[in-house]
């Protein structure tokens, strides 16, 4: 049983290493924007051989998610309240993630708000840097126009290649992610847009090879 708290204090982000928050070294999966963390809970329960970090900006959801993990007694999950873009650009050790999950990122539908979207070139470049060679990145949204932008950024990235989304190794089962928003939107009959990409195995830079897993 882990003695460490589920909620990661912001002070742990100075000179961050994964070892600081996870007592056991295991492949790491990160979910950005967990909301109430229905997906994170089920995925972490299904994969006790992995460590999971959920990042959630909204305090209410962050607290709900951390409490949910406590109630279910999962020991391989940590929750962090911060801006995921900042975490990926500044904190996340290079080549350290096995899977990155982003489900239903806020679409900011008004054109004048598009600059608030998570998926921008600097964020994508930083996230790719955080992926281990061969690691996967999964994205799902019901928003067709945002999906087009996301697809352009990810499929246009030289270090990424498209792979099957429908892989139980990466999600829950049968290509269903089962986040809270997915359940709600499917009930409303909305279409899901899904994309899975993989970082090329041969893209490891000298800097990352020297640093290894953080």
**Torsion-angle region of residue 175: left (phi > 0), alpha (psi -120 to 50) or beta?**
left
**Residue 56 or 132: which CB sits closer to ligand SAM?**
56
Q: Closest approach of Cβ 119 to ligand SAM, in Å?
A: 11
Neighbours of 47 (CB within 10 A): 16
For residues 204 and 43, what is the distance between their CA atoms, to the nearest angstrom? 28
Q: Closest approach of Cβ 77 to ligand SAM, in Å?
A: 15
CB 121 within 8 A of CB 88: no
**Residue 51 or 85: which CB sits closer to ligand SAM?**
85
For residues 75 and 55, what is the distance between their CA atoms, to the nearest angstrom? 16
167 is catalytic: no
Q: Which residue is nearest to ligand SAM (CB)?
A: 33
**Residue 180 or 213: which CB sits closer to ligand SAM?**
180
Residues that bind ligand SAM (CB under 6 A): 32-35, 55-58, 61, 83-85, 103-104, 106, 118, 179-182
CB 166 within 8 A of CB 174: yes
- What are the φ and ψ backbone dihedral angles of 101, each rounded to 5 degrees? -115, 130
For residues 190 and 193, what is the distance between their CA atoms, to the nearest angstrom? 10
- What are the φ and ψ backbone dihedral angles of 7, each rounded to 5 degrees? -75, 125
**Residue 102 or 208: which CB sits closer to ligand SAM?**
102
**Residue 32 or 154: which CB sits closer to ligand SAM?**
32
CB 51 within 8 A of CB 29: yes
Nearest CA among 54, 12, 17 for reference residue 37: 54
Q: Closest approach of Cβ 4 to ligand SAM, in Å?
A: 21
Q: Closest approach of Cβ 99 to ligand SAM, in Å?
A: 15
Catalytic residue among 14, 49, 83, 106: 106
Q: Closest approach of Cβ 130 to ligand SAM, in Å?
A: 14
For residues 75 and 47, what is the distance between their CA atoms, to the nearest angstrom? 11
Please list the active-site residues. Answer: 106
């Amino acid at each position: 049983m882990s003695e460490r708290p589920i909620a990661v204090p912001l002070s742990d982000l100075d000179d961050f290493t994964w070892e600081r928050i996870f007592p056991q070294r295991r492949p790491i999966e990160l979910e950005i924007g967990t909301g109430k963390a229905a997906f994170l809970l089920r995925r972490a329960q299904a994969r006790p051989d992995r460590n999971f970090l959920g990042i959630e900006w909204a305090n209410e959801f962050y607290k709900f998610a951390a409490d949910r993990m406590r109630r279910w007694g999962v020991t391989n999950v940590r929750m962090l309240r911060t801006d995921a873009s900042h975490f990926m650009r500044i904190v996340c050790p290079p080549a350290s993630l096995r899977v990155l999950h982003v489900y239903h990122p806020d679409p900011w539908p008004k054109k004048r708000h598009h600059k608030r979207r998570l998926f921008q070139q600097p964020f994508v470049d930083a996230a790719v840097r955080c992926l281990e060679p061969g690691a996967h990145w999964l994205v799902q949204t019901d928003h067709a126009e945002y999906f087009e932008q996301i697809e352009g950024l990810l499929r246009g990235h030289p270090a990424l290649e498209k792979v099957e989304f429908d892989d139980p190794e990466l999600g829950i089962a049968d290509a269903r992610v089962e986040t809270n928003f997915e359940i709600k939107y499917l009930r409303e009959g909305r279409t899901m847009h899904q994309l899975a990409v993989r970082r090329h195995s041969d893209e490891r830079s000298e800097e990352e090879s020297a640093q290894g897993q953080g």
